[in-house]
Structure 1
Amino acid sequence: MTTTELAPFTRRPRLSIESLIAKLRAQDSRKQDMVVPAHKMRVTPEGLLELDEPRITSNGVSDTSHFQLTGTFDSGIAGKLKVPANYLARMREYNQLPLLADNVNTWLAMEPNRPFLVRTFQGDDDQPGVGRALLSDSYGIRDNLPLLMAVLEGIADRGAEVEITGELTDRRMIVKIVAPRVTTEATDLLRFYRSPFTGRTGADNPVVAAGVVLTNSELGFGASTITPQFTVQICTNGLTVTKDAMRTIHNGTKLEHGVIQYSEETTKRELATATSRARDAVRTFLNVDYMVRKLNEIAGKAHVDVIDPEATIQHVGKIVGYTGEQQNRILAHFIRGADTTAGGVLHAVTSAAQTLVDADAAYELERTGLRALEVAASYQR
């Protein structure tokens, strides 16, 4: 077991909505975004990002700002400057920060007037801040806190009773919204399944609740999405219907150079759009008719018997893109789940996802559950 995983049958804890909002507010108080041309930025031999953008400190006005670089900023360097990500990682691994600085500064000098959006957290007084992301100056900024509040407003407008938990990673916000009173029974899908967490069986309790997953990245790691997800009551497995997701990509107009100040008009327009999309999502996805239709489609593919579980999961892993560790974990959940059908592979993927400490990895794994079901079912034929 690696340090990124919990015990095979222990769920990863999530934040309450109150704790999530508190974290987002604390982050918002430190944010500063700037559009900076390449000739005004450089990496120091100590590995700090230096910007020729003045800021006010306790000692007066500083002509430059310094920021510690993060893995998410390195991803921006790799994407925007075409420096191989594994090369950046290798230089950091061997503490070759002067070499890293030479590489990055060389490529910045190749296009001195190219503008970038630099997203940061400001440091205290004279302390370095945090460089969060290097993005295009046409990146459409859609921040987590206002988006979340707009979505919650849209849900409240529809009068839906929901339970909300969340996760906040370096890359994205992930919010799970479950409507505990919008339920149906998925008897065909769950009749052979046993929760690896509690031992409870789907035959005794086949109830599934409607819900959605809200995701957003402030740093370029994916669109804003509202995706339908059905939560199995006995195990909290999430069956994510990715093909029906509502997506809003982060495209925008060219941003002005310098520190960005967001107008009240722009903010209101963004929030109105997000609120409207949330209302649409609630109307569409928190609906029993929609649930029944989708669950019947899933059950129709799930009944296929899995003859060789290990070979099947290896095949699924190759097609879908699971690591060896993920395949072993999914197999353990498949065995504990006791459902020897392609539906059992779906359940194993979605329960295994709950046991990963890395919430980004868990999110990516969970959303592949229905794809894994399709691949497992076709492999038996």
Structure 2
Amino acid sequence: MPVITSARHMSLQDMVPLLNHQQAAKVDVVAPASALRSVDGTIELFGVTPVVDDRGVTAVDGRYRPTGSADGQIAAKLDIPVRYLRRLRDDARLDLYDSNVNGLLHGRADVADPEPDDRSFLLRLFTAPTPDQPGVLRALLSDRYGIIDNLDVLAAVLDGIHAVDVDAEIRSCDLTESSMHCKVYAPQMSALAPTFLAHYRTPFANPELEAERQRVAGHLERVRPIASAEGLGYEPGCEPVVFAGFRFSNDETGHRAVTLTPEVVIQICGNGLTMPMFSSTRRHIGDQLEIGQAWSQDTYRKKLAVITAETRDKVAEWLSAEFFTARVEELEHQAATPVHQPERTMEVLTKRLGFTETERAGILSHFIAGGQLTAAGIANAVTSYSQTVPNPVRADSLDDLAVQAMSLV
């Protein structure tokens, strides 16, 4: 069965078996440039020592098809313009793709001293499901890259949550070719935000917008177990309730790191308003590895222990009444600024915050559907629109811009 590399809006119960399936297919190897060559746009390894680990002996010689992310890393490592290399693949000019990659890996074939690349690289791979198929080249990285796998990060973060003894649940999970993104909330840590949610209705009551959210979820059933609160003087299901929460992500292929970010979760629609100014980031940097060298399990366990401890400390801070109350008060203070010209406001925000034209139009649609003609309506439109964005990395970036968008109104 081929490895699934991308999925959106999963439950924890969906995510864990998917990560376990990936884990079984993963293999990491440090190889010299001389052991790599490009053949019809795939990267072939040859003469590489098999990997020996607790699963046994895994032969790694063979072909691996680069992901889009890995193509970008090949371009960066070999100083090839990334748009050029991707265009060669898109235009089926794999002969030129091979010539560029091989020429820079092995040097010129028409001279006595070809000056080949003398570096070694860490290759993160998925083995092929059958011998007649290529595997997947997930990443071509520095031999100093510190591996921390998604499944282990997930376990470390859950351990950190349990250490604080907080009633917190993972409400949504996303996966891309390179990264994992999970959202956590505390159903018992709630507050009213009547100004921030004044006159707000979920945009997903609009069937077209709900269809967009479901479209990016694919075949997986969307699970957002947000608890309801009653007896607060509002129509049941429409109370202006927000919950404390946070988001965490991990990148396995070199682009980012383990990142923790607090957020405020909106009950009626599942919007997550993040507070990036409080983010905590741990980058993947390790000791240089020799060719064929195995990763130290003791060192790996220590890295995970640091992630667990950091999660414990951040959860204790971010899911505390003091922190949560202060963030809600800040949102309430900025929320009521009126928006008299929505289209003009979105034009200004698009220029200031770098939204694409597609994003501008989508956020404006969510703003109108939300029925909230205030700065808070802009923030809520950004975070509801982000749920319809196929790429979780961009969706997280949009959530990070919501508070700033509100402050610019």
- Scaled by the length of structure 1, what TM-score is found? 0.89
1:317 to 346, 350, 353: 350
CA displacement at 1:245 relative to structure 2:
0.9
After superposition, the C-alpha distances for 1:178-215 in whole angstroms (9 at most, x for unaligned) are: 11111111122112322112489999511111111110
Question: Who is 1:151 aligned against?
Answer: 157
CA distance in 1, matches of 2:135, 2:252: 17
CA distance in 2, matches of 1:159, 1:64: 47
Equivalent residue letter for 1:180: P
CA displacement at 1:221 relative to structure 2:
2.4
1:187 to 164, 189, 194: 194
Aligned residue runs from structure 1 range 329-344, under 5 A: 329-344=362-377
Indicate the larger mover: 102-111 or 302-311. Answer: 102-111
1:362 to 374, 387, 395: 395
Equivalent residue letter for 1:135: L
Equivalent residue letter for 1:284: E
CA distance in 2, matches of 1:337, 1:201: 17
Q: Which runs of 5+ in 1 are unaligned?
A: 1-11
Conserved? CA contact 1:201–1:234, under 8 Å? no
Question: Who is 2:324 aligned against?
Answer: 291
Question: Who is 2:311 aligned against?
Answer: 278
Q: 1:145 to 1:62 in 2, by over 3 A?
A: closer
Equivalent residue letter for 1:18: Q
The DSSP-based 3-state class of the residue aligned with 1:42 is strand
After superposition, the C-alpha distances for 1:309-349 in whole angstroms (9 at most, x for unaligned) are: 11111211122111111100100111111111121110100
Conserved? CA contact 2:144–2:287, under 8 Å? yes
Question: Are 2:333 and 1:300 aligned?
Answer: yes
1:114 to 114, 119, 122: 119
Equivalent residue letter for 1:176: K
Indicate the larger mover: 348-357 or 197-206. Answer: 197-206
The DSSP-based 3-state class of the residue aligned with 2:242 is strand
Conserved? CA contact 1:187–1:203, under 8 Å? no
CA distance in 2, matches of 1:103, 1:42: 11
Equivalent residue letter for 2:404: R
Question: Who is 1:220 aligned against?
Answer: 254
Question: Who is 2:145 aligned against?
Answer: 139
The DSSP-based 3-state class of the residue aligned with 1:188 is coil
Question: Who is 1:251 aligned against?
Answer: 285
Question: Who is 2:359 aligned against?
Answer: 326
Indicate the larger mover: 180-189 or 47-56. Answer: 47-56
Conserved? CA contact 2:8–2:173, under 8 Å? no
Aligned residue runs from structure 1 range 94-133, under 5 A: 94-109=91-106, 112-123=117-128, 124-125=130-131, 127-133=133-139
CA displacement at 1:29 relative to structure 2:
0.9
Conserved? CA contact 1:76–1:135, under 8 Å? yes
CA distance in 2, matches of 1:101, 1:40: 15
Equivalent residue letter for 1:114: R
The DSSP-based 3-state class of the residue aligned with 1:229 is strand
Q: 1:316 to 1:308 in 2, by over 3 A?
A: same
Equivalent residue letter for 2:44: E
Question: Who is 2:276 aligned against?
Answer: 242
CA distance in 1, matches of 2:315, 2:307: 12
4+ runs of 1 displaced by more than 3 Å?
Answer: 60-64, 124-127, 198-204
The DSSP-based 3-state class of the residue aligned with 2:388 is coil
Q: 1:62 to 1:140 in 2, by over 3 A?
A: closer
CA distance in 2, matches of 1:190, 1:201: 14
CA displacement at 1:282 relative to structure 2:
1.2
Equivalent residue letter for 1:184: A
Q: Which runs of 5+ in 2 are unaligned?
A: 1-6, 52-56, 108-115, 207-233
CA distance in 2, matches of 1:205, 1:75: 46
CA distance in 2, matches of 1:61, 1:135: 20
Equivalent residue letter for 2:73: G
Question: Are 2:384 and 1:351 aligned?
Answer: yes
Conserved? CA contact 2:73–2:139, under 8 Å? yes
Aligned residue runs from structure 1 range 39-50, under 5 A: 39-44=34-39, 46-50=40-44
The DSSP-based 3-state class of the residue aligned with 1:367 is helix
Question: Are 2:239 and 1:205 aligned?
Answer: yes
CA distance in 1, matches of 2:383, 2:145: 33
Conserved? CA contact 1:171–1:360, under 8 Å? no
The DSSP-based 3-state class of the residue aligned with 2:383 is helix
Conserved? CA contact 1:32–1:120, under 8 Å? yes
Conserved? CA contact 1:306–1:342, under 8 Å? yes
Question: Who is 1:32 aligned against?
Answer: 27
CA distance in 2, matches of 1:93, 1:61: 32
Question: Are 2:86 and 1:92 aligned?
Answer: no
CA displacement at 1:280 relative to structure 2:
0.7
1:21 to 12, 16, 22: 16
Equivalent residue letter for 1:228: P
After superposition, the C-alpha distances for 1:108-137 in whole angstroms (9 at most, x for unaligned) are: 235521121111011233532110001111
Conserved? CA contact 1:342–1:373, under 8 Å? yes
